[in-house]
Amino acid sequence: MPMRGHRQGRPQGGSRRWLRASEYPEEEIIITTEQYPRSSRYTDLHRVYSQCSGPGGLQVTEFLAQKMGVQSGDKLLDVGTNKGYQTCFLAKEFGPFVIGIDPWGDSVETLMRNAKDMAVESRVIGIKVGVPDTGFASGSFDKVMSTTTLEMIRGMKGEAGYREALAEIYRVLKPGGIFGLAEPMHRDVAIPEEIYPYVTRGDMPAPWTECFATLEATVQAVTSAGFAVIEAAEAPDAHRWWQEYCTYDPDPGEDREVIAQDNGRWTTYGYVIARR
Ligand SMILES: C[S@@+](CC[C@H](N)C(=O)[O-])C[C@H]1O[C@@H](n2cnc3c(N)ncnc32)[C@H](O)[C@@H]1O
């Protein structure tokens, strides 16, 4: 997620033609080094987005980690690591001990290779499990972070599956522990006509309309799991993060054109910081 490789659902007609990949305005993307002092040191965005698989790359991780107060001495769980570049970035730049979990493919092996390359292998462990079946003891972690992952679980397992994942995160956090969630969301507006066919179809793993929720619905789900929400909003750089992902991800498929067509009307990226 975002679900790569959609090749179906190309809108017919519409007043604007879609941008081709080569036409996407890469030069408009500006990295704001003041807000992202750590991730702005990772200047090769082609590399960053070949390692991260969602909007925001390392910036979303830094953004959440700052808000969560991630620090040396924390035991942090990263849910849905994929290649684990963000997991290792957390260990390297913020100093916690990080356990990264991902049940699919060779994510854990790739995570551990990245940990070695980034010289944080003594503070990173990858385990091939997923939420809700982590097997961790209750109250194991000071902090839990998850980016661009739980919405995929909603797409695959429905709202009940999303809530089971939240319940597991709640369970494995220590009382008083902090949860940072960030993921693709949609605004509470009608789906723009041009993107409707695309966002209502697809199977990677499900249409965006089955994966994405509004910020309000997400806050409600997090609250229902027992958390006290500290802060929740659309990320200030949501649209730029989507554009950046579409520009630099090696295989954004039709996402690139859909995001350009939508131009921030329906698709967004939100976050929730909550305390157990
Ligand atoms: C789109 S990637 C996001 C990776 C990274 N956090 C990011 O923001 O770029 C989502 C990851 O969630 C993993 N995933 C799928 N089901 C999961 C589950 N039940 N628990 C944890 N991770 C899961 C997938 O294997 C995939 O690597």
Give the global pTM.
0.90
CA angle 199, 204, 210 (to 5 degrees): 45
Pocket residues for ligand 1 (CB within 6 Å)? 1, 52-54, 79-82, 86, 101-104, 107, 130-131, 147-149, 152-153
CA pair distance 179, 257, nearest whole angstrom? 33
Atom of ligand 1 nearest to the CA of 130: 20
Q: How far is the CA of 78 from the centre of ligand 1 (A)?
A: 10
State residue 169's pLDDT score. 99
Q: How far is the CA of 148 from the centre of ligand 1 (A)?
A: 7
Q: How far is the CA of 188 from the centre of ligand 1 (A)?
A: 25
State residue 2's pLDDT score. 53
Measuring from atom 25 of ligand 1, which residue has the nearest CA? 104
Atom of ligand 1 nearest to the CA of 60: 8
Q: Which amino acid is at 24?
A: Y
State residue 66's pLDDT score. 98
Per-residue pLDDT of the chain (276 residues; tens, 9 = 90+): 554 432 222 233 332 232 333 444 454 455 556 789 999 999 999 999 999 999 999 999 999 999 999 999 999 999 999 999 999 999 999 999 999 999 999 999 999 999 999 999 999 999 999 999 999 999 999 999 999 999 999 999 999 999 999 999 999 999 999 999 999 999 999 999 999 999 999 777 899 999 999 999 999 999 999 999 999 999 999 999 999 999 999 998 899 999 999 999 999 999 999 999
- Sign of the torsion formed by the C-alpha atoms of 189, 253, 242 and 225: positive
Atom of ligand 1 nearest to the CA of 54: 9
CA pair distance 76, 100, nearest whole angstrom? 8
Measuring from atom 18 of ligand 1, which residue has the nearest CA? 130
* Ordered domains of the chain (ranges, CATH): 21-275 (3.40.50.150)
Pocket test for ligand 1, best of 50, 87, 102 (most atoms within 8 A of CB): 102
State residue 20's pLDDT score. 33
State residue 14's pLDDT score. 32
Atom of ligand 1 nearest to the CA of 102: 22
Measuring from atom 13 of ligand 1, which residue has the nearest CA? 80
Convert the chain into a string of H (helix), E (strand) and C (coil): CCCCCCCCCCCCCCCCCCCCHHHCCHHHCCCCCCCCCCHHHCCCHHHHHHHCCCCCHHHHHHHHHHHHCCCCCCEEEEECCCCCHHHHHHHHHHCCEEEEECCCCCHHHHHHHHHHHCCCCCCEEEECCCCCCCCCCCCCEEEEEEECCHHHHHHHHHHHHHHHHHHHHHHHEEEEEEEEEEEEEECCCCCCHHHHHHHCCCCCCCCHHHHCCCHHHHHHHHHHCCCEEEEEEECCCHHHHHHHHHHHCCCCCCHHHHHHHHCCCCEEEEEEEEEC
